[in-house]
Amino acid sequence: MNGDQQPIGDVTDPQQLRRIFGAFATGVTVVTVGGAEPHGMTANSFTTVSLDPPLVLISVDRRAIMHAALESTSHFGVSVLAADQELVARHFANRWRGLGRAQFDAVDWVPGRATGAPLIQGALARFECELWRSYDGGDHTLFLGLLLTAEQQNDDEPVLFLRGRFRQVDPERSEVRT
């Protein structure tokens, strides 16, 4: 083993796995549902799946409030956060924030045109989805959404999540910074 390599990790240790998985940089989103009890959740487990039909995937912990919300609705929204929206990401990751409509009082948002799901103002991109399928993913469920609307708001840099911390791209130096 060369000096830069770490020993093979214990794949049964959740804390070690979280640290190792954290080596993969991701964008940061806020997933939302509307209706009588709107809810939002910060998520970095988001990816595109297909162009035809246009599908995206989110992965949600079975214990999360969002999991129950998605199981009881047919639509959801996804807002891809910009570099200056780290506080929005932190807000929706905070387990002690208000619930229902009150959790949206601290952020600028608009109702989605197709679903009414709250979408974050200033996000890089925003999507509205119809829940298409869901799949068992161990302690998570994988929810596939069929796109109903998709809009790019601006070309700013994204907020990233890497090694357990929020990061930003430094466009002047083409590097990631904390």
Angstrom distance (rounded) from CA 81 to CA 59: 17
pLDDT at position 23, please?
A: 82
pLDDT, the chain, mean: 91
Phi-psi region of 35 (alpha: psi -120 to 50; beta: other; left: phi over 0): left
pLDDT at site 17 = 81
This prediction has a pTM of: 0.88
In which band, very low, low, confident or very high, does the pLDDT at 140 lie, cut at 50, 70 and 90?
A: very high
Q: How confident is the model at residue 16 (pLDDT cuts 50, 70, 90)?
A: confident
pLDDT for the residue 178: 62
Q: Are 116 and 158 in contact (CB under 8 A)?
A: no
* DSSP classification of residue 8: P
Q: What CA–CA distance (Å, rounded) separates 84 from 82?
A: 5
- Cβ neighbours for 150, distance < 8 A, ≥ 6 positions apart: 54, 125, 126, 127, 128
Q: Which of 84-93, 148-157, 160-169 has the highest mean pLDDT?
A: 84-93
What does the pLDDT average to over 24-50?
95
Q: What is residue 81's three-state secondary structure?
A: coil
What pLDDT score does 175 carry?
61
Pick the CATH number of 26-177 from 3.50.50.60, 3.90.226.10, 2.30.110.10, 3.40.190.10: 2.30.110.10
DSSP code of residue 6: P
- Is the model's pLDDT at 153 over the cut of 60? yes
User: Mean pLDDT across the stretch 37-59?
Assistant: 97
Q: Are 7 and 1 in contact (CB under 8 A)?
A: yes
Structure confidence at residue 1 as a pLDDT band (50, 70, 90): very low
